[in-house]
Structure formats: structure tokens, C-alpha cells
Amino acid sequence: AAAARRSLEEQEKIIALQNRYLEELAALAHDHKNHLLAIRGLLREGENPPLEEYLRRISGTLAERRQEARRYTSNGAVNGILAAKGEECRLRGIPFMVQAEGGTLDFLDYGDACAIFGNALDNALEACEALPPGEKGFIRVAVSRQRELLSILFENSRALSQEITPGKDGLPATTKGEGPYHGYGLGNLKRAVEHYQGALLWEAPPGLFRLKILLSIPPVGE
């Protein structure tokens, strides 16, 4: 039930984000004709400095939308989750970095994508939000391929005072106390990793948390 609830929440976030992107891109396309008329007028009047500023502003707006809606990987579900979490980071002022050199993730189904990327990034966001006032955290995701293995690294800032200890299953013990959904996130993540005969490693040096996941890439056709 907890996994289904998490999957539904992620779907709703991604759909809402994609709808907002489509609305903003439609608005930009609608104004395209007016932008061209304004540029022609500035050219005709020889007003070069205002024209340069106008073009810079338009280019910046388009670049921002393209950056937010870009394809990080070949997996649409992963792209949607990364875009949604990246937007949350932007709104909260948390630097969010994604490196996806080995972005071939066609084999990863939606439920497993939510379990891995959704839970890991939710935990990273919570850790950054818990930083003392004035401290600026960050979140980094790196995806790379090593022969028949896919490596996924999540790294984020955390408060120095936050204690992270192993639980009975070897995963970090939950710090949220008792509750109907507490402690399920990393368990669901681990089960998704095991679905691909993978491994999960973590470490918590002072002020940081790193979660590394290795997945076996199924042969083509399986």
C-alpha cells in the first residue's frame, strides 16, 4: 500500500509538471509573432542596445525551459522524476546537479524508477531542508555505465548534528519516528535494486550522505 501510494504521488507530480511546461511553451509560441514584430521595429529604428537586451531576455527564457524539460536519460519516467525533483530544488533554493553519461535506462520500469530515484531524492531533499539556517546544501545525481553494470550515485548535504546509523537490514535507520509510511522508502528502494540483481552501498561522512546503486543491465531482448 505504501509503495502504491508513493507511485501515485510521483505520477501526479510528474503529470502536473509536464502540463505546466506545455502551458508555458504554448504561451511562448503564442507570443512568437509579437516578438518578431518587436524585433523588426527595433531594427528599423536602429535601437541596438535595447534590441540586444530584448534578445538576451528571450533567449534566457527559452534556455531555462529547454534545460528544465531536457532528456536526462532514455527513460521518460526517470526524466520526469528528475525534472520534478529539480523543480522542487529550484523553488527551495537548493543547487541540483545531474550528470547522466550512461543514460540508457530503457530496462528500468516505472515502479522501480519511482522506488529508486523518487525515494533517494526525497530523502536528499529532506536532509537539505534540515540544514541549520544559513547553510546551503546541494544534491547531485550521477548516472554512468560500466560494461554491463549501471551505476547511480546520489550525494547530498546533511547537518553535521544528524546521526545516521545502520538499521537491522543494513540500510540507514529512519529518523522520522513511528508512522504508517515511515521506514518504507529505502526498503522499497532496496527491493527495486534487487529486482535487477543489484547492490546498494551507502556512507555518511561529516556533512554528506552518499548512496551508490549498481544495477545489472539485462541483455537486449530480455
* pLDDT tens-place string over residues 96-151: 999 987 667 888 887 888 889 988 999 999 999 999 988 889 999 999 988 889 99
pLDDT value at 16 more than 90: no
Per-chain mean pLDDT for the chain: 77
pLDDT value at 41 more than 60: yes
Q: How many other C-beta atoms lie within 10 A of the C-beta of residue 176?
A: 10
* Cβ–Cβ < 8 Å for 152, 215: yes
* Cβ–Cβ < 8 Å for 138, 156: yes
Give the predicted TM-score (pTM) of the model: 0.70
Q: How many other C-beta atoms lie within 10 A of the C-beta of residue 60?
A: 10
Rounded to an integer, what distance in angstroms lies between the CA atom of residue 100 and that of residue 95?
17
